[in-house]
Structure 1
Amino acid sequence: MSNARATHLSRRGVLAAGGALGLGAVLAACGDDDAASSGSADGTKAAASSGPWTFKDDRGTTVKLDKAPANIVAFIGVAAALFDYGIEVKGVFGPTKTSDGKADVQAGDLDISKLTILGNEWGQFNIEKYATLTPDVLISTLFDDAGTLWYVPEESKDKILKLAPSVGISVYDRQMPVSLERLYALAESLGADVKAAKVVEAKKKFETAAERLRAAAKAHPDIKVLAGSASQDIFYVSGSNLSIDLEYFKALGVNIVEPSAKVLEASGGWFENLSWENVDKYPADIIIMDDRTSTIQPADITEATWKKLPAVKAGQVIARTPEPILSYDKCTPILDNLAEAIENAKKVA
């Protein structure tokens, strides 16, 4: 993981907030020292089951504890997903707070004022503060098949992982429903009431949204969708392979613009980087743009070549969430928004 922030583009460079794409917002370094004390989004709290706790993660590692962990520390997106299931965390790391003190898009419905923020930017992780939380478990996502815990700094990971066992949920080279099911299973093991009406309804809405997107793609097979991400000097075009959202969109029939496999090799299969002069390389009817605060958002792009793109002129640019919060509640709008865009799109490319 140490090369993910190198000046050259690594396989995960486009995914990491603040690295190769870190020419957008400057994030605050850390948060307050208050531990999380909030319940789920609807005010309920999950009750962890008594007795031993065990969970086999996506690295094949089985974590065993005498009881379900009470002091949970998690990557911000994981914490936001667990919150939707009624599971509290004590501390978070990763993009939590924007430079103006507001909640980052990856924080979901979390009240960040009640969270102990161990690190807000890439490479930041306050080990001393982490130790004071007496963590029972650390949870993060996995963006590779090597078991690398997302946003756990490579240079200090040994010290961090000595303090508590870790759990990794993969968001690498699989479709969105698989990762959703894994987070759902983790939440259930931690005491979430997955039979609650709110959770059951959220899952049904996700399934309905998936069918809507499938139908929209089938009805408009000629509508080309390009996944982009903007930095000061580079426009990134993502291929559909490896990313859980794009792989799923393609499986549902969405016509994703695909850079060639050979071109994608330079980034480990993730994306092609284009100069702004060449941003029109791929014809597209809809552009879905990286919504993370580390990237330049469409309204702030001043490049003339961008403004001349047919999809931009037609107003057919919507947000893309490359790091979805893995709850059914948060993933449903992702599918609905794309379905609506395809349903209403004009053929411009």
Structure 2
Amino acid sequence: MSGPVLARRGFLAGAAGLAAALTLAACGGATETAAPTAAASPAPAAAGAWSFTDDRDKKLAQPKVPSRIVAQVGAAAALWDFGVRPIAVFGPHKLKDGTKDPQVGNVDITKVTGLGNVWDEFNVEQYIALQPDLLVSSMYIKGTLWYVPEKSKDTIEQVAPTAGVMLTGKSATEVIGTYEELAKSLGADMQGVPEAKARMEAATKELAQFKDLKILMVSGGADAFWIVNPPEYPDIVHLTSAGLNVVTPTKVDEGGFFQTLSWENADEYDADVILYDTRTQALKPEEMMKKPTFAKLPAVKAGQLYPWNAEAPYSYQGYADFLEALVVNLKKAKPLQ
């Protein structure tokens, strides 16, 4: 693995990897059982049979509604805000100091089992012992469940049915709608959802006032500076549809997600505002400002450098929080040209 594959891996997940994902194809299977272990209380189930067609166009059907749900942290964060309580999560949910990783959203990590915290880490034996009814994960590539390791995916998929929610090429509204539909099918209580949806819609309308700002969305790594490609990200599709002028890179890397620049070339694009990736694997602003070319960018010099929650939970609550904070920051900015 080298070149664009590793670069793409670095941007999308830091320590995680998308390289293996390029060839994965996820599918459900028959349920196997084993002695259960201690875990969070399963999600409340609605009565009757259950069915759901996921974004792989795969129709899932069970005689009863799944209640023992395991989810990748992004999926868990979305479902949690709709009222579904997974019993276990996998993917970045705990920081080195033991506190909660922002990617897991409002999930109470003291009440769920952690099956893995980094890329390629998934405790299959523990997963089997939990007797799950359903595994849920987002997808960057259709058929590829995010953070399900290639080395153990066949076993994982034999334990319980899996549901995939596509991210790439979708708008945030579409992705949130899919999670809402899934949550409803699982018997979610939807508490607070109408209020959060109204907040998201109100914040979205406010974005149009910033159409004169040229915005660059970036992520910094130790050896690379990534310029994101708006059409590939649900959150940025939402922002541009609402009227924001987000820079599109002219030379997108293979795969389409971003353009990789060296730090020496960090000044390739002009912008009034820079929104930087706040995920734990990305460089902090003070680290990026040690790079001379970055520090000299007009937006940086003007102090118009603001956080971008690159993996906000795909729920109305998650996006209301993200968009409201963005509006507050953009109100501080002004065109520099």
Summarize deviations over 1:261-319 as a string: whole Å, max 9, x none.
xx11x331111111111111101111111111111121333222222222112221112
Match of 2:116 among 112, 119, 142: 119
* 8 A contact 1:17–1:95 mirrored in 2: no
The DSSP-based 3-state class of the residue aligned with 1:228 is strand
**SS, match of residue 73 in structure 1:** strand
1:248 aligned partner, one-letter code: H
Shift of 1:111: 1.9
Residue 338 of structure 1, CA deviation: 2.6
Structure 1 residue runs of 4+, over 6 Å off? none
Instruction: Say whether the 8 Å CA contact 1:237–1:273 is kept in structure 2.
Output: yes
Letter in 1 for 2:219: S
The CA distance in 1 between the partners of 2:131 and 2:41, in whole Å, is 16
Q: CA RMSD in A?
A: 1.9
Q: Distance in 2 between matches of 1:36 and 1:17?
A: 29
Distance of aligned partners of 1:300 and 1:102 in 2 relative to their CA distance in 1, 3 Å threshold: farther
Structure 1 pair 233–61 and aligned structure 2 pair: CA distance change class (3 A): same
- Map Cα deviations across residues 34-64 of structure 1 (whole Å, 9 max, x no partner): 52249xxxxxxx7421111111111111111
Q: Please state whether the residue corresponding to 2:115 is helix, strand or coil.
A: strand
C-alpha separation between the residues in 1 aligned to 2:40 and 2:68? 10
**1:290 aligned onto 2:285:** no
**Structure 1 residues 19 and 228: CA distance shift in structure 2, 3 A:** same
Single out whichever of 224-233 and 103-112 deviates more from structure 2: 103-112
Instruction: Decide which of 153, 176, 179 is 2:175's aligned counterpart.
Output: 179
- What is residue 220 of structure 2 aligned with on the other side? 230
Q: Specify whether residues 103 and 82 from structure 1 end up closer, same or farther in structure 2 by C-alpha distance, changes over 3 A only.
A: same
Structure 1 partner of 2:261? 274
Say whether residues 1:204 and 2:198 are aligned partners. Answer: yes
How many pairs align? Answer: 316
Superposed, 1:234-273 pairs within 5 Å as: 234-260=224-250, 263-264=251-252, 266-273=253-260
In 2, the alpha carbon distance for the partners of 1:348 and 1:167 equals: 46
Q: Which stretch of structure 1 is more off in the superposition, 306-315 or 221-230?
A: 306-315
The structure 2 residue matched to 1:59, chosen from 40, 56, 59, is: 56
In the alignment, does 2:163 pair up with 1:167? yes
Counterpart amino acid of 1:271?
Answer: F
The corresponding residue for 1:9 is 4
Partner in structure 2 of residue 89 of structure 1: 86
> What is aligned with 2:30?
none
Deviations 1:154-186 (A, max 9, x none): 221111100000001111101110001110111
Equivalent residue, structure 1, for 2:306: 318
Q: Distance in 2 between matches of 1:34 and 1:296?
A: 37
Following the alignment from structure 2 to structure 1, what is the Cα–Cα distance between the partners of residues 131 and 74?
Answer: 21
Contact 1:170 1:179 in 2 (8 A): yes
TM-score by length of 1: 0.86
TM-score of the two chains, using structure 2 as the length reference: 0.89
Q: Which runs of 5+ in 2 are unaligned?
A: 19-36
User: Residue 207 of structure 2 aligns with which residue?
Assistant: 213
- Alpha-carbon distance in structure 2 between the residues aligned to 1:91 and 1:99: 19
Alpha-carbon contact 1:71-1:89 (below 8 Å) kept: yes
In the alignment, structure 1 segments of 5+ residues that lack a partner are: 1-5, 22-32, 39-45
